[in-house]
Chain A
Amino acid sequence: MTYLIRGKVALLIKVVVVALLASVLLLLAQSAFAQREYVIAAFLAISVVLLALTYLSKISIPLKFFIPGILLLTAFVIGPILYTVAMSGFNYKTGNIISKEEAIVQIKVRGIEAAPSGLSFDIKLGTVDGKPAILVSDINTPEYFLSTLEDRTPLVASSLTLNEYGVAVEAPNFTPLNESEFASADKVYTGARFVFDDRFFIALEGFEAGVVSQQVLKFFPESDQFRNLLTGAIYTDNGRGNYSLADDKGAILEPGWRAPIWFENYSNIVTDPRVREPLIRVFIWTVVFALLTVLTTFALGLLLALALNKPIRGRRIYRSILVLPYAMPSVMSILIWGGMFNTEFGAINALLGTDIAWFSDPNFARLAVILVNLWLGFPYFYLISSGSLQAIPSELMEAAAIDGANPRQIFRKITLPLLLQILSPLLIASFAFNFNNFNLIFLLTGGGPRNELDGEIAGATDILISYTYKIAFGAGTQDLGLASAISLIIFILVASISLYSLKKSKVLESFA
């Protein structure tokens, strides 16, 4: 088989694969470029060049193996981290999502208001001397006129062709648009200001209606200000992504835009009690949860591994059964456990003969979270403990036994230290994983219970990542900037704890 894909055939396959891959990446780059995602487009284009250079030249043989990993790592790890770092320095939340240019356009649109008279007319789109015009009918008065971007010409009903509702459809010098011209007309007529009088204009509200309107907010690009033409109020860039009044910072024009606020999201974590206090509570619970999870799952897994390390009847069956919770999709397990903990009809209360409100009481909810995670996690530690026990030379135990050590002493002085040495990296990894165990919390308790009536923001079982998710994507205001700042802190925390633990356990030395 190996010989079959050598020489010209292998080269051909390589060229075809690279060409297909490059096509897909270029297609994605093109799409990203069209959506103004220039960084993504540039990354994809560079990837094509790198792939072609690596696989179609002899620049570096090791790179042929590393380049897919490097590109994927950049795209899915380094990229998001950099993006999160960047976003944590922005006022990026509901109301401050779009760019400043877009915000200005939209404020201008919202700055057009219907005239107090509330007048609106039936209109017909067309042209006069090749220029955009509307044939306006006020069927109530009835009154008719032609309006262009420059002037308004009154018309008499007798000179017009009216439809069954009394709306003018034809007039002298007026050429109505036909169906095929409507598509191109949208861009020309939408936003156009057809003359009504000195103060007001007619704005299109669809192809059939025009509303007498006025521009209330006007933008002055040279001073970067909006002025309310009716009240004279001036709105200036407040440096936080909104135009606001100088004497009332709360009076802002919407929408706002993403604006850099540098370290404000980080300082809010410390200075804003509504952010800081729940965060501290959540952080403490996160550490407790992760520690308890690692301890309980490791303890139970090790206990079972020790029990089944001796030849007993049906050992294989027991081992298979113990691995089952690990084999089952965790999402399904969590949802089933959620049902079992239901207060009214859950199996747990039925078995215990109790009516415990598992997910309403903070302590019971935390207990439920730990128990479910124990169920989900112990098979993993059972498996790795079993494997590790096999790796410990039996001579050590035999020698200790000959020297008079009892089984408990052998376990405490020989087995456990050796096991911990082997399993330390996995215990640390488990801690880091559970520090961010979003699935369990989200699916089992949703972070609750939370006493909303007492103004609690975070739930009793919320861990940092689920709390961050709520800040970023919860109901009401979604504060992506603050969530990014908290995410970054979580990242630094987990990375620091992991590195410290690895250093302490001297595991990395074996890789040196």
Chain B
Amino acid sequence: MNRKRFGFSALVAAFALAVSTLVAPSASAATEIVVWADENRGPDLTKVIAAKGDWVPGFTVKVVTFSSFDALKEAFDKATDASGPDIVVGANDWVPTGAKSGKLAPLTLTAAVKARFNPTQFLDLTYKGKLYGVPVDINNVAMIYNTKLVSSAPKTFGEMVAEYKSLKTSKGLKAGLCIAGGGMSWGAHSVFSALGADAYQFNSRGQIVYNRAFNASTFGKNVRTLLMDGNKSNGFFPATDTGCKDNFLAGTVPYAVIGNWEWSDYADKGFAMNLMPVPGVKAGTYGKMFGSVSGALLTTFAAKHGVESAAKSLLTNFFASSDGQVRYQTLAKRPPAEKGAQANTTITAAQRGFGTSASLAGIPQIGAFLNSNKGGANYWDSAPAYWTAVLIDGKDATKEAAKLSQIWRTNTIGGKGDL
């Protein structure tokens, strides 16, 4: 290499080094707590936190919003020490995998903070006896009925089916009851339960009974009687949730199970928020819906970023406080998890309606059982598979119910160790 070329090389190297040093990102300041949230929660959290900046004295809070819940999950799965958040607002079923993989860090709440929540809500965020976050909002569903099609609240499941059959032709109904929110596994649990198939069983003292599952014969018989004509669906309950919301809004479905995150879509169209649980086979009984919570979860990155205590303070001072939850839920319009916020008058009637419905017929969503696939498939895959097998493929409702019952029982036993 001659002198001239060496000179050029040196020049290039110097320039490259200078530019890369100037542009290189500096390490994030240790006075910043980074919170990751999805496209719905992120903007609301940003506004609330910006409006009151002293949730953790001496620290600022930066909310990073992702384009979707899936994008948030994917980013969190791939987060590195440098890029990861200190707190992530995510689903309760992230807890087992996050804890196993060392991405979530445990925390211990004081008795005073714990008292602000219903104890069952902590089950959602617990893995092997350790708590990984604080409950932020309640996710549940409730049944809504169209008063232009049916005049009063149904008392039994059979009453809904009879109403559907009588109106089917005259009103051009596309279905009787469908799942608009939560999908054919999570959202449809209330229908499973109304017909006698709870995902797991509790005794009269509210304790989990691990080695017992729902009665397949009873459930199968209810499905045959209420949802089938021979070996074909009677059209009352579609096996998929496709088009349910549109059909309900168009007045071609009288009953729909809707999620509490979307009630304003129905209210905006003029539907009254006549929310109730799905009625059971006998009057006075109801299908139990999952009452899960989304959590603000502490990550192991917080310790690596040197803000672990600050992040814990943010969790208790903001996410788990009445003040924080009221401010946030006033924008987010979901039922708050914190008791003080639930009682606050700024929380809307619809938000309370879901809460009431949940208290009438709700069971905690226990990820340890639902995510387990010890039975060959987890709850999320096996539940919709039952509807497909019976309502679309025309398989025997009781035989398929027996398989489902066995899967869920095995999953409950298998998930016991993860509680």
Contact = CB atoms under 8 A, between A and B. Distances in A.
* A and B together in one complex: yes
Contacts of A391: none
B101 A255 contact: yes
Contacts of A450: 381, 385
A109 B105 contact: yes
Interface in B390-416: 392-393, 400, 403-404, 407
A30 B243 contact: no
Interface in A406-441: none
B360 interface: no
Interface stretch (A142-150, A179-187, A488-496): A179-187
B59 A183 contact: yes
Contacts of B373: 476
B110 A120 contact: yes
Contacts of B309: 185-186, 189-190, 204-207
Interface stretch (B7-15, B116-124, B160-168): B7-15
A94 B97 contact: yes
A20 B100 CA distance: 43
A453 B403 contact: yes
Contact of A476 (B12, B13, B128, B378): B378
Given A206-B309, A360-B388, A449-B388, A23 B102 contact: no
A11 B12 CA distance: 12
B110 A186 contact: no
Contacts of A183: 29-31, 58-59, 310
A342 B109 contact: no
Contacts of B378: 475-476
Contact of B243 (A102, A179, A187, A345): A345
Contacts of A34: 27, 82
B100 A255 contact: yes
Contacts of B377: 452-453, 455
Interface stretch (B251-259, B270-278, B300-308): B300-308
Given A110-B130, A186-B306, A206-B312, A26 B20 contact: yes
Given A23-B16, A52-B12, A357 B111 contact: no
B110 A209 contact: yes
Interface string A72-102: 0000000000000000000000110110001
B27 to A, nearest CB: 8
Contacts of A213: 108
B306 A187 contact: yes
A453 B385 contact: yes
A254 interface: yes
Contacts of A189: 309
A27 interface: yes
B128 to A, nearest CB: 7
Given A183-B59, A206-B316, A345-B243, A109 B106 contact: yes
B5 interface: yes
B99 A205 contact: no
A264 interface: no
A285 to B, nearest CB: 20
A268 interface: no
Interface in B364-394: 371, 373, 376-378, 380-382, 385-386, 388-389, 392-393
Nearest to A119: B111
Interface string B53-84: 00011110000000000000000000011110
A476 B9 CA distance: 52
B382 A357 contact: no
Given A56-B8, A209-B316, A455-B376, A95 B403 contact: no
B111 A179 contact: no
A34 B28 CA distance: 12
A195 to B, nearest CB: 18
A106 B381 contact: no
A475 B108 CA distance: 28
A182 B58 contact: yes
B382 to A, nearest CB: 5
Interface string A171-198: 0000000011111111101110000000
Contacts of B58: 179-183
Contacts of A185: 309
B24 interface: yes
A110 B24 CA distance: 35
B106 A22 contact: no
A497 to B, nearest CB: 33
Range, interface on chain A? 35 or more
B19 interface: yes
Contact of B385 (A18, A94, A452): A452
Nearest to A36: B81
Contacts of B59: 182-183
Contacts of A121: 110
Given A22-B13, A23-B20, A255-B100, A106 B300 contact: yes
Which of A34, A183, A345 has the most chain B CB atoms inside 10 A of its CB? A183
B69 to A, nearest CB: 14
A120 B310 contact: no
A205 B110 contact: yes
A114 B108 contact: yes
B25 interface: yes
Nearest to B311: A206
B12 A206 contact: no
B393 A361 contact: yes
A256 B377 CA distance: 24
B250 interface: no
A52 B13 contact: yes
A15 interface: yes
A31 interface: yes
Contacts of A453: 377, 382, 385-386, 389, 400, 403-404, 407
A182 B82 CA distance: 22
Nearest to A106: B102
Contact of A182 (B11, B57, B108, B128): B57
A209 B20 CA distance: 43
A361 B394 CA distance: 11
Nearest to B307: A186
A48 interface: yes
B195 interface: no
A454 interface: yes
25 contacts: A15-B12, A22-B13, A25-B16, A26-B16, A26-B17, A30-B21, A52-B9, A94-B100, A97-B101, A97-B102, A103-B102, A109-B303, A179-B58, A182-B58, A186-B30, A186-B306, A205-B107, A209-B110, A254-B99, A344-B238, A344-B242, A360-B393, A452-B377, A453-B407, A454-B376
Given A106-B300, A207-B310, A360-B388, 13 more contacts: A23-B23, A94-B101, A97-B101, A97-B102, A182-B58, A182-B59, A186-B310, A190-B303, A211-B110, A255-B102, A345-B243, A453-B386, A475-B371
Interface of A: 11, 15, 18-20, 22-27, 29-31, 34-36, 48, 52, 56-57, 94-95, 97-98, 102-103, 106, 109-110, 114, 118, 120-121, 179-187, 189-191, 203-209, 211, 213, 254-256, 342-345, 357, 360-361, 449-455, 475-476, 478
Top 10 A-B pairs ranked by shortest CB distance?
A455-B376, A182-B58, A255-B102, A22-B16, A120-B110, A23-B19, A206-B313, A452-B377, A206-B312, A26-B20
